[in-house]
Structure 1
């Protein structure tokens, strides 16, 4: 699926969340969507978190 289509569906879902649940539901949906996006990038291997989690600083003896 192209990024344009994914963006379209994301915008539609955020709009529905805003209409149905109000502004805070919109913000909550946007935050959870961003977290899901980052988790997907980590799982796909496009983002490496080892420098931030301390895994890259270990040395073998």
Structure 2
């Protein structure tokens, strides 16, 4: 089984590396892209269930 979390983070950093040379705003973008890549990778690894996380955020299933 592949470790998609690490792969997602690396892919996010690789994409953000191109954006890094644009200044502080794009440095922030690199952090956001790395985070999104890590979350997508964790979802693909089965470590994170996005639907459950979304339902908790919107309060679905309570009461």
TM-score normalised to the size of structure 1? 0.48
TM-score, with structure 2 as normaliser: 0.47
The structure showing larger relative contact order (alpha-carbon pairs under 8 Å, at least 6 residues apart) is 2
For the pair shown, the structure with the greater C-alpha radius of gyration is 1
